[in-house]
Amino acid sequence: MAYEEGVPAAEHAGIVAQDLRKQYGERTALDGFTLRVRPGTVCGLLGPNGAGKTTAVRILSTLLRPDGGHAHVAGYDVVRRPRQVRYRIGLVGQHACVDEILTGRQNLQLFGRLGHLTADAARRRAGELLDQFGLADAADRAVAQYSGGMRRRLDLATSLILRPAVLFLDEPTTGLDPAARIDVWSRIRELVGTGTTVLLTTQYLEEADQLADQIAVIDAGRIVAEGTPDELKAKVGPDRVETVTRKPTLDEVFLHLTGKTATRSTETVLEPAR
């Protein structure tokens, strides 16, 4: 392949974060964040607002420099070789990050070109993605006229323009109605089927349960628990009060692990999943 020098190390495929630290003045956003996501799996990063989810994603996607620690994404060091990482990742943020003035097709072609596809390849890939994401009819309309769900789909499509090995989804269904959310979920499942590594941050516990092979619970800038959804549920043990057989929900797992009770702060966390 015609990439610049440097061969990715196999042990660094997927996502490997080691002791990441980030400080904003007095506030510690990440405090020894360590996480490993095996290639081709989905990791759900679960935590309340301000736990450090977005900071972690921004560091792993090369947008932010960590104050300490190391991270490799798709085989490359995010601080030393950000350019190599950028050829291999896709990023969907909390808000649709697309150019509203341009059409859907122009957006896809623009980011294809910025990813150094040839003009022809960018055009072909844009067409493919527009079909795949049900945007073919709206392809030549300005994004400003798109609905929230359509923007989200375009956002997701744009992040796939270079066929990324690793995809970061930072609260990808924030602000979507239930139908649009289920649509995004099914698209994420399709992607995983094709071998993409996904790091999904969410405060919707149901979302993590639905999509993730592995869940990491983050609180105050560090991972406090890790495992499959079932392992995490087993850790807490069956519900103690109501019926003996009911397994705890991830909501309860989360509350147990973060040592929080369902008071003000956690209520806002739980609400959207209802």
Partner 1 sequence: MTTPTAVPASASWLRDAATLTHRILLHWRQRPFSIALTLLFPVLIVLMFGYLFGGAMAVPDGTYLDYLIPGMLAMTMLFGLESMVLAVTADAAKGVTERIRAMPVSGVAVLTGRGWADLLNALAGLTVMIATGYAVGWRPHDGLPSALAALGLLLWLRFAFTWVGIYLGLLLKTPESAVAVQVLVWPVGFLSSAFVSPGTMPGWMGAIATWNPLSATATAVRELFGNPSWNETTWAAEHSVLLATVWPAVLTAVFLPLAYRRYRLLGR
The amino acid at residue 188 is I
Q: How far is CA 111 from the centre of its chain?
A: 19
Residue 142 DSSP one-character state: B
Task: Tell me how far, at minimum, the Cβ of 196 lies from partner 1, in Å.
Answer: 6
Task: Tell me how far, at minimum, the Cβ of 40 lies from partner 1, in Å.
Answer: 7
Q: Which is nearer to partner 1, 78 or 205 (CB)?
A: 78
Beta bridge partners of 225: 217
| CA–CA separation, 271 and 214 (whole Å) | 23
| CA–CA separation, 105 and 126 (whole Å) | 6
Helix (H, G, I), strand (E, B) or coil at 128: helix
Q: Which is nearer to partner 1, 138 or 165 (CB)?
A: 165
Task: Tell me how far, at minimum, the Cβ of 100 lies from partner 1, in Å.
Answer: 6
Residues of the shown chain interacting with partner 1 in the complex, contacts defined by CB under 8 A: 1-4, 39-40, 61-65, 83-84, 86-89, 91, 93, 95-103, 106, 110-111, 113-118, 121, 125, 142, 158, 162-165, 194-197
Q: Which is nearer to partner 1, 35 or 167 (CB)?
A: 167
Q: Which is nearer to partner 1, 125 or 233 (CB)?
A: 125
**Pair 228, 44: CB distance under 8 Å:** no
Q: Which is nearer to partner 1, 129 or 217 (CB)?
A: 129
Task: Tell me how far, at minimum, the Cβ of 177 lies from partner 1, in Å.
Answer: 21
Terminal-to-terminal C-alpha distance of the chain: 47
Task: Tell me how far, at minimum, the Cβ of 39 lies from partner 1, in Å.
Answer: 7
Report residue 8: phi and psi, to 5°.
-70, 140
Helix axes 250-258, 229-236, angle to 10 degrees: 60
